[in-house]
Chains A and B, each alone.
Chain A
Amino acid sequence: MKNYDMTRHVRGESLFADDFIVPEGTLYASVFDSSIAHGKILSIDISEAEKFPGVKKVILAQDIPGQNQIGGIIQDEPLLAENEVHFCGQPIAIVLAESLLIAREAKKKIKIEYKELTPITDAREAYAKGMLIIPPRIFSNGNVEEAFKHCGVVVEGKIETGAQEHLYLETQGAIAFPTEGNGIKIISSTQGPTATQRAACKVLGLPMHQVEVDVMRLGGGFGGKEDQANAWAAMAAVSAFLIKKTVKLILPRQEDMRMTGKRHPYSADFKMGLSNDGKILAYEVTFFQNAGAAADLSTAILDRTLFHATNSYFVPNVKATGLSCRTNLPPNTAFRGFGGPQAMFTFEAAIQKAADKLGVAASVIQEKNLLKEKDEFHYGQLAENSKAQACWFKAKEKFHFDQIKKNVDTFNTENKIYKKGFACMPICFGISFTNTFMNQAGALVHIYSDGSVGVSTAAVEMGQGVNEKIRLVAAEIFSIDKAKIKVETTNTTRVANTSPTAASSAADLNGKATELACKNLAERLMTFIKEELNFSSSDRIAFRDEQVYCNDRAIGLTWTELIQKAFFTRVNLSAQAHYAVPGIYFDKEKNKGKAFAYYSFGTAVVEVTVDCIRGTYVVDSVKAVHDFGKSFANVIDRGQAEGAIMQGIGWMTMEEIIYNTDGKLLTDALSTYKVPDIHSAPKEIEVHFLENSDNPLGIFNSKAIGEPPLMYGIGTFFALQNAMKAFRPEKEFEFSAPLTPEKVLLSLYKE
């Protein structure tokens, strides 16, 4: 079974934004950004830069023809800073030149004077100063105050989780072409073509039909190009619009790292109350989300944090407060998990603390509190079709939790320098955009007169295999060879008003839309066959392996022949369909409702070994039982799980974003920001597909897979702490991620 995208990838034939051949006379853009985190712009002098040989124009905020605004949910983000700068790396000017090299050199000639203001980089400090993006959000049920009084044990604590750089291998970028009638066409590396179109229209002052956005594929997105691809596309668009030439803007890696937001760092206070036998009775938590300088998607991300406050467990009394704090860092943004991972980390830390206090293993508490069928979440939705326990017990049996514990204990008694640790990590992740209206998608299917098929949807291919899944859907319904089906670029003129490819839901939403459009065509063709060949209306027509069947007998008509016949008989061979997820709603005042179409479940066990001389460690294994529903693309789904796990491990271990107190990013290159390499991958990684699961709400009964497995990586943190405890049983360790070798060593030895 050939996967077309992969076949092109391995030959180096896949085209990414930077690979398109551009017309002669194309100009190259380089972005001039703020070198301070907070301040007023007193003066800016671009005259030297404009005189630089090869420079065609330098664009400032005042040159923007439309509104200088790209904020998505909240309108608080200028495309180019005008009077004030709010973070290091904030774009101020665009230099257009004959080559990127010239543009970059010329940029150095821009003179700017600031009046520096004190930056805030810490979320709690921002909160103390009243710098909130939106008023506090509270999700709750039961009565925590009352419940704590009746708990056998109550633990309180604090967690910190760090930022995470997306590090999509392909940096942000776009190419903008002026089109006739003052329009613009943009080739963009964006997860959200419509959002990019809207942002470009706003800054250009054009109606949406004047701006076309086309996306071939992305060299990785992970959420980093959901909202934050817009700025670069809008800049390229403004440039092309003003100078009437094609403009290419591809961010060099260091500028990408410096100018774009990351996964939100969180700080949180938790309080958990349990019965003496480990039943969780109450949980109170306050999340301080470091949103950065603009809202971006922070508020939606904060909501997901609150949704996932209790991870995969049932808790009768919950109060979860979310504070989105405005700081002087680049606006933080979507990143695989979308606020969920921070919430789950916090809850697992609380369990760990409770377990220590009760003198039991964390797994005892985990197992006792897993979601059962129809348990109610604190926001009112019921855990339907819950596989929390099924996954846990399958994992426990399959991976022999007891044996792991024995092996680890034996190893630790026999070894003085190296210590092993393990941790279990159950997950539960809601599938749907938490903004209900976004749960819609469209598809446009053409059957060409030679029988080949072209499918356009709203989904953007970025490595998650959505194109292949859509191809499988169309091939299944028409029962034709996959080679006959092409998935087209994602283009706003073919499928309009799209939601971004995000929230793990692109295959579900667009797959369903494709299914509808294909079924619509199939029905049309069947009616045509009956009429044309004089079958009765009760005859059952079917397509099987490129042949037409009637009442299970081949009638000697091939797919291609059928299509030709239909074409000459003037049958409409194109169909458009729209899919909207049924039955979901959410009341944002009461914070109650059925926010998700369904949930994804699983349990992983992570084993690690720590070198207690050096503070270094290896992840020995990650083994998971995951609920994929009925997977219809195993290779893709397994790959998503494995890749997400690795990213989760990276977030918990080596991926450390460091800003200094002036708000300057110190880890602004691959030499200082380390993501997992092939050696840091777990020595063993095993992903088991939970049997007997299905999911009518997912495409072909499958379940969304993009994000959920990332959270298995959280187990790594606790496994490491367990290994450290084996070396220093008397010490209490902080819940501060990432747990870098530095933190390991300092925690082991610092008094």
Chain B
Amino acid sequence: MKNIIHFICNDQEITTELHPATTVLDFVRKNLHLTGTKEGCREGDCGACTVLVGELLDGRVIYKSVNSCLLPVASLHGKHLVTVEGINQKELNPLQHAFVDEGASQCGFCTPGFLMSLTGYFLANDVYSAEEAITSLDGNICRCTGYASIKRSTEKVTAEITMNKNHSSVEKLVELKVLPDYFLGIQKRLTAIPPFINTPTNDVLVSGGTDLFVQQWEKLLSSDVEFLQRDNTESAIRIENDLCFIDARTTISEIKSSASLKKYFPQLANYFQYFGSLPIRNRATVGGNIINASPIGDMTNFLLALDAQVHLNEKDNERVVPLKNFYTGYKQFDKKENEIITSTSFKLPETNSHFNYEKVSKRTFLDIASVNASIYLEEENLQIKNVHLSAGGVAPYPLYLSKTKEFLLKKTISPQLLKQAAEIIEEEISPISDARGSAEYKRLLLRQLFFAHFIKLFPEIISLEEVV
């Protein structure tokens, strides 16, 4: 039996029996003839297809920006999909106005995407700043404007909206004519939609889909797919004594903004701002990142340096594998076919510990790392008590630097020691040349990032001149 997918698109009630893995991009363009949403790349990298998805949580509709090219239509069930047509009113809204005034749209192909991201920003936040509003556009590429006019219009409209209100609510945004009136009725209409019945399958498991829909969207259309969805009431990140458990379905956005994790990793939001873009982070999950097994995975890099454990489950059979032993080769791991990852856990950092994360890519934001590296370190008077180091982009899978760790243990941090350790790292890695850099570069870069950890964490002891 086919599942009926039921949602609201803009002001319109939609039910469809299309294949659940049909992308929302195709659905709105081809089935609904809403062509304001554009296809620029079909791989989450341009933002021309950005839409908003609103979901009920505690009686409120919470909106997030997502890439419709990577979004299965099934994930819309019970939700509110907003395309650019859905924010149009008789007159231009303040955002649209600002774009026109400043010339923030030239060829116009990227424009609906930008406006959706910006609308998403105003919907998703309570307090606004121009800087953050601009940052919310990190998933949108514009090839024409050079962004200056986009920044100007964003600054202008943020100031305008901030002046007029200090608390976000759909009502206020409707009052300011940022949103059309029908938004007021959405919450009630969503409550009326019956839940979706997910058919368990052994074929393909989709979590955020940010990996699957890039690699194999065509294949998915002829597969049985099962969607991993987390009930909004379940808590994604749980702290128990000195352990932290992260549900595999937790999104990178949830990690980035987690108040409980921030206590232990004050720089957390800075680290994860380099992960994809906001719409990608809104969908990408921890479990997907682990199974994606990309050598430069950013979540896995972070987790490896915390010596995290992977919790696997198959029909209630639990198994726990240290992440550092999980990978066995390129895209190969210690997982049985039908096992799923339920969560990952790690020991919380000791109070006197240090943590650092580094990522270098050709473009600083929304780019896959050339090399990334994390360190967790406990020391006493500079003597290393415990250390975990991870490195990405230098091996067929996310790498835990075990030899370097052995070498560093119990030694005292000094420029000399780091230079020696860098030589051990050299032996532990096997980078290859590709579009993200030559092998020679990746070797050099990892050495530099290793030094960067210490220059950042121990600026009094380690300076750049002394190590290079």
Contact = CB atoms under 8 A, between A and B. Distances in A.
Interface of A: 2-3, 5-16, 18-19, 21, 101, 104-105, 166-171, 217-220, 222, 252-253, 416-417, 462-465, 612-616, 635-636, 638-639, 642-647, 654, 656, 658, 666-667, 669-681, 685, 740-742, 745-746, 749-750
Given A219-B107, A669-B43, A7 B360 contact: no
Contacts of A671: 43, 45, 214, 368
Contacts of A676: 146-147, 363
8 contacts: A3-B103, A12-B37, A12-B83, A169-B143, A674-B361, A678-B150, A679-B364, A741-B360
B108 A643 contact: no
Contacts of A168: 107, 109, 143
Given A644-B146, A667-B435, A679-B138, A8 B360 contact: no
Interface stretch (B171-179, B234-242, B314-322, B438-446): B438-446
B130 to A, nearest CB: 12
B107 A678 contact: no
Nearest to A15: B35
A125 B367 CA distance: 33
Interface in B404-458: 434-438, 440-441, 444-445, 448-449, 451-452, 455
B138 A678 contact: yes
B158 interface: no
Interface string B100-119: 11110111111110010000
A229 to B, nearest CB: 14
B46 A613 contact: no
B192 interface: no
A170 B448 contact: no
A643 B142 CA distance: 9
B207 to A, nearest CB: 19
Nearest 7 pairs of A and B residues by beta carbon: A12-B36, A463-B107, A9-B108, A646-B146, A219-B109, A463-B106, A12-B84
A685 B215 CA distance: 38
B103 A169 contact: no
A219 B360 contact: no
B468 interface: yes
Contact of B141 (A11, A643, A677, A685): A677
A373 B228 CA distance: 71
Contact of A169 (B40, B150, B363, B438): B40
Given A12-B36, A253-B40, A643 B144 contact: yes
Interface residues of B, number: 83
Given A11-B36, A635-B102, 13 more contacts: A9-B107, A9-B112, A101-B221, A167-B143, A171-B40, A417-B455, A612-B464, A638-B103, A639-B145, A645-B146, A647-B146, A676-B147, A677-B366
A636 B42 CA distance: 30
A226 to B, nearest CB: 15
Interface in B197-214: 214
A685 B146 contact: yes
B40 A672 contact: no
B41 interface: yes
Main DSSP-derived SS at the B contact region = loop
B169 to A, nearest CB: 24
B465 interface: yes
B301 interface: no
Contact of B143 (A3, A639, A647, A667): A647
B453 to A, nearest CB: 10
A579 B88 CA distance: 41
A167 B48 CA distance: 13
B465 to A, nearest CB: 7
B390 interface: no
B148 A681 contact: yes
A642 B142 CA distance: 12
Contacts of A654: 362-363
Contacts of B370: 741-742
Contacts of A21: 33
A169 B38 contact: yes
Contact of B364 (A105, A616, A638, A669): A616
A313 to B, nearest CB: 27
Nearest to B96: A10
A496 B106 CA distance: 26
A675 B43 contact: no
Given A462-B107, A685-B148, A7 B92 contact: yes
Nearest to B371: A614
Contact of A675 (B92, B143, B437): B143
Given A6-B103, A12-B83, A13-B36, A678 B41 contact: no
B360 A616 contact: yes
A488 B92 CA distance: 23
Contacts of B258: none
B168 interface: no
A678 B48 CA distance: 14
Contacts of A3: 100, 103
Nearest to B108: A9
Nearest to B456: A613
B137 interface: yes
Contacts of A680: 363-365
Contacts of B150: 678
B85 interface: yes
Contacts of A463: 106-108, 144
Contacts of B35: 12, 15, 18-19
Contacts of B112: 9-10, 12
Contact of A416 (B83, B147, B358, B464): B464
Given A11-B88, A12-B84, A667-B435, A643 B106 contact: yes
Residue of A19, A252, A463, A647 with most partner-chain B CB within 10 A: A463
Name, among A7, A104, A674, the residue most crowded by chain B CB atoms within 10 Å (CB to CB). A674
Contacts of B361: 674, 741
B149 interface: yes
Interface in B334-372: 358, 360-368, 370
B397 interface: no
A748 B111 CA distance: 40
B218 interface: yes
Contact of A681 (B100, B146, B221): B146
B107 A170 contact: yes
B143 A220 contact: yes
A16 B437 CA distance: 36
B463 interface: yes
A252 B214 CA distance: 13
B249 interface: no
B140 interface: yes
A745 B148 CA distance: 29
B464 A639 contact: no
B245 interface: no
B134 interface: yes
B370 to A, nearest CB: 7
A169 B111 CA distance: 11
B106 A674 contact: no
Given A253-B43, A417-B464, A669-B45, A169 B92 contact: no
Contact of A170 (B109, B451, B464): B109
B274 to A, nearest CB: 10
A105 B38 contact: no
Nearest to B366: A677
Contact of B362 (A636, A679, A740): A740
Contacts of A644: 146
Contacts of A613: 448, 451-452, 455, 464
A614 B149 contact: no
A170 B108 CA distance: 10
| Residue of B38, B108, B360 most packed against chain A (CB within 10 A) | B108
A680 B145 CA distance: 13
Contact of A745 (B37, B42, B107, B441): B441
Contacts of A2: 100
A183 B235 CA distance: 64
Interface in B218-234: 218, 221
B99 A10 contact: yes
